Structure 1
Amino acid sequence: MKTAVRRTAAVSAAGLAAAAILAGGASPAQAAACSGTTGVTVIVDFTALGGSVQTACALGDPTSGLTALTGAGFTYAFVPRQPGFVCRLNSLPNPCNGAPVSAYWSYWHATPGGTWSYSSSGAGSYNPAPGTVEGWSFGAGTAPTQAP
């Protein structure tokens, strides 16, 4: 009987950990930059919103910048009635007014140790290569404050 209780407790703990990850927590393996070409590193700069810079790894070969973003554990929402224009990352800023005049989520690309390059493509149509770095920064089109 004691073995069954321990096994049930272990299964319950594992289920709670999985639920926490699905509810928005990033898995520990993704909470840092990717190594080599194991995936695409994603850096999101929340400093203009009172937060910090967060770095995570989207393992594998994401098919788009949006896939890399979600693969690294971040969430996004488009501007209402303007699909493709990212309004919020991890629910910030809140609320999204739908027509940012002087501040928006800008999208950047780089190689590790390189310099940021402003994206001329939308995140839904850009295909980042494994081993590269994707950046997001909220503001007036300024690059993330953390180097790639």
Structure 2
Amino acid sequence: MKSRLLTPLAALTAAAPLAFGTAPSAHATSGTALAICPRGSGVTVIVDFGSWDKRSCAPGDPTTGLAALRGAGFTVTMVQRFPGAVCRINGRPSATVDKCVVMPPTTGYWSYWHAVRGGKWTYSTSGPGSYNPKPGTVEGWSYGAGKPPTAPPPA
């Protein structure tokens, strides 16, 4: 488990908490459902909801991890007092779990990860609003205490 002892500035740019909320489905691009991006293009985004994950493709060259997350079809709710931090993805966790006013606890936040295709997850040292994923790479989000997504990056 990674430590979350950060300065207030670092807290805005570090692995920001997130949450999700709909059943798994692929993001549709030009009428075609893409669970992962074609090799060498777009950014594949995997969101780990615990008992299942959702994989989707952010086409093109998203300029930030947050743009990749949204471009892959996920909805995002930001933390009110830390606008650089993500609180919910697709409505999860529910508002009864986290009100999205202050940073979530280290035991229940959306951790942010990066990988090359077929590689291993690396914990992000930058927040999703400041990290620029390269086309062909994989972004991962996992809710909990800072563990990587259970699904490995696709090959």
TM-score tier by shorter-chain length is: 0.7 to 0.9
Q: Normalised by the size of structure 1, how large is the TM-score?
A: 0.77
Q: Post-superposition, which runs of at least 4 consecutive aligned residues in structure 1 deviate over 6 A?
A: none
Residues of 1 paired with 2:112 and 2:62: CA distance? 16
Match of 1:41 in 2: 44
**DSSP 3-state at the match of 2:32:** helix
Instruction: Name which structure has the greater RCO, CA cutoff 8 Å, separation 6+.
Output: 2
CA-CA distance at 1:36 after TM superposition: 1.0
Structure with more of its chain in helix, by fraction? 1
Maintained 8 Å contact 1:39/1:130: yes
Stretches of structure 2 lacking an aligned partner (at least 5 in a row): 1-24
Question: Does residue 63 of structure 1 match 2:67?
Answer: no
CA-CA distance at 1:30 after TM superposition: 4.6
Letter in 1 for 2:139: E
Report which of the two structures shows the higher radius of gyration computed on alpha carbons: 1
Letter in 2 for 1:103: G
Match of 2:145 in 1: 140
Match of 1:73 in 2: 73
Maintained 8 Å contact 1:30/1:58: no
Kindly provide the CA deviation profile for residues 102-126 of structure 1, in whole angstroms up to 9, marking residues without a partner as x.
1100000000110000000000000
Q: RMSD across aligned C-alpha pairs, in angstroms?
A: 1.7
